[in-house]
Amino acid sequence: MNAQQSVVVDEERMIDPGLFRTILGHFPTGVVAVTAVGDNGAPVGMAVGSFTSVSLDPPLVAFLPDRSSSTFPKILAAQRFCANVLASGQQNVCRSMSRKGTDKFADVDWTATPSGMPRILGSLAWIDCEIEAVHDAGDHYIVVGRVEHLELDTPESPLIFFQGGYGGFSADEAKA
């Protein structure tokens, strides 16, 4: 869909995609690097702003990759992923994970999780998952992962995407 097309809500209403994106851009989102190991043994990854907790019992999380993603099929083939919650100082990691057609891990330090998925060093936390389900959702998928391991690494400010830019957040600032 290009920016000139309209999103059909029902037969009587149309939503302009540019307006839709602008309005939802006013909702801040955290940034997560979803990583896996490709079938060639090399790490693969993508940056997402659509990551959420789904369930405590069983422990489930979800992310929403675009259907046009060239990375998601590699993650799906692995049947596992690691969600790396990026810190405010990791904009460079976000840019690396957002690149197309290059070695996204060339400048990214990582180590393996217990299941062998890439865990990005310096991230706030990592969540190691097995893919539980994939659902169609318009021009995206909803990928549900069953959490197998997780750990808090660096309790600091998360990387936040808001109105087209990146920044951080501090709970201490919010309490003031």
- DSSP reduced 3-state for 42: coil
With a CB cutoff of 8 Å and minimum separation 6, the contacts of 168 are 87, 88, 89, 157, 158, 159, 160
Is residue 49 in some structural domain? yes
| Number of domains composing the chain | 1
Is residue 138 in some structural domain? yes
Cβ contact 126:120 at 8 Å: yes
Task: State the pLDDT at residue 9.
Answer: 54
DSSP H helical segments within the chain, as ranges? 17-24, 72-78, 91-98, 171-175
Per-residue pLDDT of the chain (176 residues; tens, 9 = 90+): 444 455 555 556 788 888 887 887 776 778 999 999 999 999 999 999 999 999 999 999 999 999 999 999 999 999 999 999 999 999 999 999 998 877 899 999 999 999 999 999 999 999 999 999 999 999 999 999 999 999 998 778 898 776 776 667 766 655 55
Q: Respond yes or no on whether the N-terminal peptide bond of residue 58 is cis (omega within 30° of 0).
A: yes
Is residue 156 in some structural domain? yes
Is residue 89 in some structural domain? yes
CATH number at residue 133: 2.30.110.10
Task: State the pLDDT at residue 15.
Answer: 86
Is residue 59 in some structural domain? yes
> Is 0.95 topped by the overall pTM?
no
Residue 85, judged by CB atoms within 10 A of its CB (0-12, 13-18, 19+), counts as buried
Task: State the pLDDT at residue 25.
Answer: 73
Closest CA to 139 of 70, 34, 69, 74: 69
Task: State the pLDDT at residue 164.
Answer: 72
Task: State the pLDDT at residue 109.
Answer: 96
Q: What are the two backbone dihedrals, phi and then psi, of residue 13, each rounded to the nearest 5 degrees?
A: -125, 145
Cβ contact 33:45 at 8 Å: yes
Cβ contact 86:92 at 8 Å: no
Checking DSSP bridges between strand 29-30 and strand 160-162, what pairing results, if any?
A: antiparallel
DSSP H helical segments within 81-124, as ranges? 91-98
Give the domain range for residue 54: 29-170
Is residue 7 in some structural domain? no
Task: State the pLDDT at residue 17.
Answer: 85
Is residue 5 in some structural domain? no
Cβ contact 117:128 at 8 Å: yes
Cβ contact 130:82 at 8 Å: no
Task: State the pLDDT at residue 41.
Answer: 93
Task: State the pLDDT at residue 124.
Answer: 95
Is residue 60 in some structural domain? yes
Cβ contact 94:159 at 8 Å: yes
